[in-house]
Amino acid sequence: MIISSSTAMAKFPHISCLLLLFTLSSLLGTFAARRLSLKEATIDDLQLAFKHNQLTSRQLVQYYLAQIRKLNPVLKGVLEVNPDALHLADKADYERRTKAPVSLLSKLHGIPILIKDNIATKDKMNTTAGSFALFGSVVPRDAGVVEKLRKAGAIILGKASLSEWSHFRSTKTPSGWSARGGYGLNPYTFSDPCGSSSGSAISVAANLAAVSLGTETSGSILCPSSLNSVVGLKPTIGLTSRAGVVPISLRQDTVGPICRTVADAAYVLDAIAGIDHNDIATIETSKYIPKGGYAQFLRRDGLSGKRIGIFGAFHDFGNDTSLAQTFEKHLNTLRKGGAVLVDKLEIANLTEIYSRSDEYAALYIECKITLNAYLKELVASPVRSLADVIAFNKKHQKLEKIKEYGQDLFLAAEATNGFGKTEKLALLNLARWTRNGLVKLVTKKKLDVVVSPYASLSRVLAIGRAPGLIVPAGYENNEEPAGICFGGLRGSEPKLIEIAYAFEQATKIRKPPSLKGFKF
């Protein structure tokens, strides 16, 4: 079992290391003989291999466990693996042999998936948001999205690392760092992976798992997906359940897939979207779910006839002429696919939006209220309130690196006292900026989506509670990946999937990291 502390290892002494002794070399030999490569394998690849008896879920889990053993000590994308993963794989294999017809099984059936460590799993694993303050806590139930994944037959492979407390403990905390997991590394540059869903992106990029789940409040799926050359889908707020997720803000929090292809992201979204009565926002938002699901929008001609808005900043890449040329080429790809580009657009109040003062004023009080509610609902926990977490950090300063990074965001959140004039005005401003900005622009210009380089749209989409889908777009001079982000109004996931899939199929830019320069 791979956990970030000896304490965690001691908690499950009955788990034999034999679970991980199926070596990478022997697996590669077996699959090479069958002309099957698991590196970069998509869900469709894996399901086809299952169908033709070229692969079992047990073999697949063993492959990823071996990958984790080999690469995770350096990359630190995984906090712990599920001790029941092989048992769940055997169960999936049995169901595939005995259930007829197999064609009725979900696309995710038998597929291992990593879950960000702020998403609750009611099993032998911890749910800690990367903090020792929650180590050993007991959740009341699976998170809503995990329950849906299990129902679809997915195998919960383990917990992905993250920026601790979803990067809302301190402004000084590095992206990808947590007390439990240490520093997660971008597998392309061995540097900043961005966060807070850092481990989810690292692990998929480096082939430690087929797919993963991340969460986003403001940029936490889109940014790490861009920097780690993977596909990240940030759904409309409420499209996927947040029940059982360590929260920051129910107004902005969302759960979405991080994968290597747009198709895989659509398959995961099909599995996790929908009503969960433990998250009332999903009831109203379920109206956006299309009959027949999201996979039907995986169309190679998805660009045809689409109106795509281009922001003026799209053309500003400073001194990086190579990347500028790459993105200009992408605009031509969109045109060749039949899209109409509406160029050099600007969003009103962009300066105010990116100042973050109003967003943070709202997030502070929302964090205090929602986190307190989450902690009180736990069956067992060392901490029961934000104040308890702050006190734990002060008591365990060395463990939580308080002297180095502090906890200024937590302190600001704890200092709030309900929704006063400041908080109410902030919420009104955020709503007005969205109404007069993204919504007005898309409506007035009759756009299907807007597009921008990197994850630069993330804060606009965050306060607008709107979806975004980012796909690999290229690599800078130092091989640092960059993504291209498509965003739209609430409920526009079908259009985003159509456009992003057509772009992806026309460009096929993603390449796995070389992992050169480090000994594994």
Q: Which residues are catalytic?
A: 116, 196, 220
CA dihedral 458, 463, 465, 469 (to 10 degrees): -10
DSSP letter assigned to residue 297: G
Interatomic CA distance for residues 350 and 352, integer angstroms: 5
Q: Check if the beta carbon of residue 222 is closer than 8 Å to that of residue 120.
A: no
For 315-369, give the DSSP string.
Answer: G--TT-HHHHHHHHHHHHHHHHTTPEEEEEE--TTHHHHHH-HHHHHHHHHHHHH
Q: How many C-beta atoms lie closer than 10 Å to residue 304's C-beta?
A: 13
Interatomic CA distance for residues 16 and 342, integer angstroms: 59
What SS3 class is residue 478?
coil
Q: Which of 435, 432, 463, 79 is nearest to 254 (CA)?
A: 463
Determine phi and psi for 72, rounding to 5 degrees: -65, -30
Determine phi and psi for 45, rounding to 5 degrees: -60, -45
3-class secondary structure per residue, 148-194:
HHHHCCCEEEEEECCCHHHHCCCCCCCCCEECCCEECCCCCCCCCCC
> Residue 161: CB partners within 8 Å, gap ≥ 6?
4, 76, 77, 78, 79, 117, 130, 176, 178, 180, 181, 184, 198, 199, 202
Q: Check if the beta carbon of residue 500 is closer than 8 Å to that of residue 488.
A: no
